[in-house]
């Protein structure tokens, strides 16, 4: 193993002040991407359902006009 102890691992050879914030920033960005994708997927499904309802309604209106 590259480190003698867990404390040495946490200290990262004296670079812990740079390493751990970088890991934290990366983790926050990844969480942000996942949340953004979930929100976008939810918005897309909502829009697709709305569009399908509108198209069904318009198709029904067109059928009524033809049969009248």
What number is the average pLDDT over the span 43-52?
A: 97
State residue 63's pLDDT score: 74
List, in order, residues 6 or more apart from 19 with CB less than 8 Å away.
12
- The confidence band for 2, taking pLDDT boundaries of 50, 70 and 90, is confident
Asked if residue 26 lies in contact with residue 32, where contact means CB atoms within 8 angstroms, the answer is no
d(CA 57, CA 55): 5
State residue 68's pLDDT score: 59
Q: Does residue 7 have a pLDDT over 80?
A: yes
Which of left, alpha, beta for 12 (phi over 0: left; psi -120 to 50: alpha)? left
- The confidence band for 67, taking pLDDT boundaries of 50, 70 and 90, is low
What does the chain come to in residues? Answer: 68
């Amino acid at each position: 193993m590259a480190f003698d102890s867990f404390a040495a691992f946490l200290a990262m050879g004296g670079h812990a002040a740079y390493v751990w914030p970088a890991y934290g920033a990366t983790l926050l960005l990844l969480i942000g991407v996942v949340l953004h994708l979930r929100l976008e997927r939810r918005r897309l499904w909502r829009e697709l359902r709305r569009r399908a309802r509108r198209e069904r309604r318009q198709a029904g209106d067109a059928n009524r006009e033809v049969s009248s």
